[in-house]
Structure 1
Amino acid sequence: MKSATVRFKSTGMILFWLLLWQVASVALHNNIILVGPLEVIHSLLFQAFTVEFWKTIAFSFGKISLGFFLAFMAGIIIGGAAYRFPLLEDFLQPPVSFLKSVPVASFIILALIWIGSENLSLFISFLVVFPMIYIHTMAGLRSADKKLLEMARVFRMPPFKKLYYIYRPALLPHLISGCRVALGMSFKSGIAAEVIGVPGHSIGERLYMAKIYLSTADLFAWTLVIVVISAAFEALFLRVLSLASPTSVLVKRREE
């Protein structure tokens, strides 16, 4: 009953803001400055029935998600190695700090010079996500229970069991927390890179062309597409990641 009330309330809030948006668009009466949700939906449906629309989504989603996955794996592996070897952590501290602090626009311009526009979004999403995953991996491993680690050392627990039963429960909450931010940032930075680099058949190219032709409806439509695919990818990835957490395993066993 409570969940139904919450859903009803959320739906009402969304409808309220959509109505307010439509009223503002009608009152302004300028489709270049602001279009209403009806025009955006019309533009989206018109494009959704074309093959090019889905090719564009596949291109951008494929590049950005691949960049995220590569950064996710690299962040865990290198973060784990840096935790194991403190000298490696000291060695990596300057470049990781550099990646955290340098503006994304600077990376995009440099990447255009180095690798061109074809794989620009993949490269930028990797650079943005890697330091987040690396830092959260280090924090998660360091949060492992010292008493359990001491017990594992005394009883000579095999490294794999130590990793699974001690480090995994400590690491996963930090990884999930880091991924909540990193997933959104990967799409924001990846699309920004495409807008600047304008690779063919990309969402960034569509946004750039919407700006050139002053097509605000197309601009809003593609922005909506970005929000939807980013939210769907985030929900799916975090769901898969949470299934590996000790809490989800315990709940599953209780249900059985």
Structure 2
Amino acid sequence: MKHKIHLTVYLFLIWQLLAVAVHNDIIIPYPLATLLRMFEMLKSSSFYITLFITLSHVVIVVGISGIVAFGLAYLAYRVKIVEEYISPVLSILQAVPNISFVILVLLWASSLQTVYIVLFLVVFPLLYHHFIAGFQNIESDLRDVIRLYQPPFFDKMFHVYLPLIMPNFLSGMKSALSLGVKVAVMAEILAGLPYGVGRAINFARIQFDMIGVFSWTLWLVIMILFIDFLLNKLIHKE
């Protein structure tokens, strides 16, 4: 913890030195001005609405992706040929630049649909690979016990397999939520969505309001770190 505090202080000192050297808010705003703007944002209801909109996009898509990825990973775990076909395809999807997804999907979908589709294409492969690794790491003795008792399907899914792969599940959700926030903001900007954090950052950029851009960026960093903190607590409890 002490090292993280020291690192944060050093980064702010470097930022302050750069701001003094450049002495131009349009290029690098001063840290104090940015922090003051961040506190001003907290007084505005639109700040919370904007954050909620972007976060809701991420939570909805990660939730749907998690359900689909869990089901597909279980199928691939039980039927090896499914895993042999699915894993290479999803690996290729992960190799495609996110911006390419946005540009291609925008040709066929609306701005909001583009955000959802791009988010799904990015986080679904990530979750699948975490989940299939969890299934494959189940010890053979436990597999034999499950086959012996043959619990009902939904009991087996949610009371047997899910607890067994919980570390992989939480790790995957942590990565998906963190990545999802960044991809959602990028997709909102490129798709021209009229609301959300992406729209706020893009509007600040157009107005040459770099203090606004830095402020929103720092709030996103804080939000991602907070999500990581909560999920790390859950992971370490397992």
- Fold match by TM threshold 0.5: yes
Tell me the distance in 2 between the aligned counterparts of 1:51 and 1:89: 47
Provide the aligned length of Structure 1 versus Structure 2: 237
Q: Give distance in 2, aligned partners of 1:36 and 1:143.
A: 50
Alpha-carbon separation, structure 2, partners of 1:87 and 1:240 = 33
Decide which of 42, 62, 69 is 1:75's aligned counterpart.
Answer: 69
SS at 2:108's partner residue? Answer: helix
The match for 2:149 among 156, 167, 185 is: 156
CA contact (8 A) 1:149 1:166 kept: no
- Which residue matches 2:109? 115
What is the correspondence of 1:3-152 to structure 2 with a 5 Å cutoff?
Answer: 6-7=1-2, 9-93=3-87, 95-152=89-146
Whole-Å separation in 2 of the counterparts to 1:159 and 1:241: 27
TM-score normalised by length of structure 1: 0.81
Could you tell me which runs of 5 or more consecutive residues in structure 2 were left unpaired when the two chains were aligned: none
Q: Aligned residue for 1:226? A: 220
User: What is the CA RMSD across the aligned residues, in angstroms?
Assistant: 2.5
**More displaced 10-residue stretch of structure 1: 18-27 or 133-142:** 18-27
For the residue of structure 2 that corresponds to 1:231, the secondary structure is helix
The structural deviation recorded for 1:123 is 2.3
* Alpha-carbon distance between aligned partners in 1 of 2:139 and 2:53, rounded to the nearest angstrom: 43
TM-score, length basis structure 2: 0.86
Identical pairs, percent: 27
Higher relative contact order (CA 8 A, sep 6+): 2
Unaligned runs of 5+ in 1: 1-5, 246-256
C-alpha spacing 1:110/1:49, structure 2 compared with 1 (3 Å)? same
CA distance in 1, matches of 2:229, 2:59: 13
Q: 2:15 touches 2:30 (CA, 8 Å); kept in 1?
A: yes
Letter in 2 for 1:203: V
